[in-house]
Structure 1
Amino acid sequence: MASWYGHESPNRHTADGEVFIADGISAAHKTFPLPSVAEVTNLDNGKTIRVRVNDRGPFSDGRIIDLSRGAAKALGVYTTGTAKVRVKFLGPAEPLPAQPVYARPSGDDQSFIVQLGAFSQESNAQRAQEKMDGARIDRRGEFYIVYLGPYTGADAAESHRQDSIDAGFTSAILKRAE
């Protein structure tokens, strides 16, 4: 069984020292080396994603993995809270760069990006980028993040997220620029 977590402070650090990003694609596991990459398949709906395992948990009996809110949404676990899953260890993950390309401008604490997707293969990220004008790619460890922005204010970013959903990126999420 998998569950999800995302109510922590935006400045909380994961067990391996990374900043916990609730709307990112990450997970907590009791024994996998940190950081690592795992493939998680929701056995109820057949969806599969790759997650960055950078935290310890879950701490509830019968659960094998805790997904970040973003991973839970991508896998279809967010609304149900839990799901039967298959978890496959894929290997160690590369360390994250010190700061992502989409870092917010200095002194601006209200910048947001629209994350269109996270891909383990650069070619898939490039195909996604080509489908949306203004989309950019940022490599974060094992993943290629395709995003729009940054935008000043959540309302402006949300407008672009809605445009992204209309363009076929139905799992687009709004994130604070780091």
Structure 2
Amino acid sequence: MSSAMRLLILGLVGLLLFACTPIKPYPSSTPKQPDFDDIKDSGPEREIDTSHVPDAVPRHEARTMAGNKNPYTVLGKTYYLLEDESSYKERGRASWYGKKFHGRRTSNGEIYDMYAMTAAHKTLPIPSYVRVTNIQNGRSTVVRVNDRGPFHSDRIIDLSYAAAQRLGILNAGTGMVDVEIVLPDDAPPAPLKANATNNVIAGSKLPANTHLQIGAFSSEASAKQFAAQVSGHLTYPVIISRNQTGKPIFRVRVGPITDARDLQQVRLDIKKLNIPEAHVVYE
């Protein structure tokens, strides 16, 4: 057999082998984004000190059907809201939720802020205020309930990142707590009212005196300098608030903000100024 014939036969065999080899598709240039349920919740990339964030201050607030559907069903289980929470007190396990839900809407349409003193509860009317006490170390804080959950049989309340840090349960993820209702001025619970029949989106109106806190300083001069630098870039007023007790702390805040959609826009404006995460305060 001539050399030319051998080369021709080898070439044909190679072509046949190549044809029999399965061709793997090229990977997509756009990686598939994980489903929301598959994303693991966490805190910020680095731990942020929220010790300067004040407790929620109980105040009289109108209650609407936003977040107060009664009864409601989640994961096949039906929950009934407490008809009278004035004597509510419970001991159980608390957990916390953070970055996965940060900036998303809560059950009543507000924007979840993991740096504010808030919580989720399965059956308390929204909004409610409760004092949560870690029974292991005695630490306590007052939080505003504006969300539903946690939907785990062994947990009674889901705290914000800031509240969990205050109680010392961040690293453990959960902790045994006492939860007790706090009523403004020992007044009776606010009655549930139907939503107004106008074009306002349920939950878009924020509580009175809602602010975004963007900084805290031990020096009043530094606080004024910072406020002056950012005020020209924001549409809402920038104010300085000083604590009334303890070591002086001068907090720089934006507001008051009355609408949840405006709150989200102000957040975006603040982010453009390269200011670390602003958090909501209600005072």
TM-score, scaled to structure 1: 0.61
Alignment-derived partner of residue 211 in structure 2:
100
> Can you list the C-alpha shifts for 1:20-79, whole angstroms capped at 9, x where unaligned?
001111100001110110000001111011001110001112100000111100111111
Q: How many residues align?
A: 133
User: Hey, what does 1:162 align to over in structure 2?
Assistant: none
Cα distance change, pair 66–106 in 1 and its aligned pair in 2 (3 A):
farther
1:153 and 2:279 matched: no
Q: Paired residue for 1:11, among 103, 114, 122? A: 103
- The RMSD of aligned alpha carbons is 3.5
Which runs of 5 or more residues in structure 1 are unaligned?
109-123, 141-149, 158-174
| d(CA) in 1 for partners of 2:115, 2:213 | 15
1:69 to 161, 182, 204: 161
Q: Do 2:212 and 2:278's aligned partners in 1 also have CA atoms closer than 8 Å?
A: no
Q: Distance in 2 between matches of 1:7 and 1:64?
A: 20
Considering Cα pairs closer than 8 Å and 6+ residues apart, tell me whether 1 or 2 has the greater RCO.
1
Which of 114, 127, 152 in structure 1 is aligned with 2:245?
A: 127
Once the two structures are TM-superposed, the CA of residue 16 in structure 1 deviates from its matched residue by: 1.4
Q: How does 1:1-178 map to 2 (within 5 A)?
A: 1-91=93-183, 96-97=207-208, 100=211, 102=213, 125-128=243-246, 131-132=248-249, 134-136=250-252, 152-154=273-275, 175-176=277-278
Q: How many Å apart are 1:107 and its aligned residue? A: 6.6
Q: Is the contact between residue 209 and residue 256 of structure 2 (CA under 8 Å) also seen in structure 1?
A: no
- What residue identity is the alignment partner of 2:128? S
Tell me the equivalent position of 1:167. none
CA distance in 2, matches of 1:18, 1:81: 24
Q: Distance in 2 between matches of 1:57 and 1:99?
A: 23
- The C-alpha deviation readout for 1:78-118, integer Å capped at 9, x for no partner, is 1110000000011368x61385265876877xxxxxxxxxx
Larger Rg: 2
8 Å CA contact 1:39–1:89 kept in 2: the answer is yes
Q: Is the CA contact 1:32–1:89 (under 8 Å) kept in the aligned structure 2?
A: no
TM value normalised by structure 2: 0.40
Alignment CA distance shift 1:125-1:52 (3 Å): farther
Structure 2 counterpart of 1:76, one-letter code: G
Query: How much has 1:139 moved relative to structure 2?
Result: 8.1
Task: Provide the C-alpha distance between the structure 1 equivalents of 2:128 and 2:156, rounded to a whole number of angstroms.
Answer: 15
Structure number with the higher strand fraction is 1
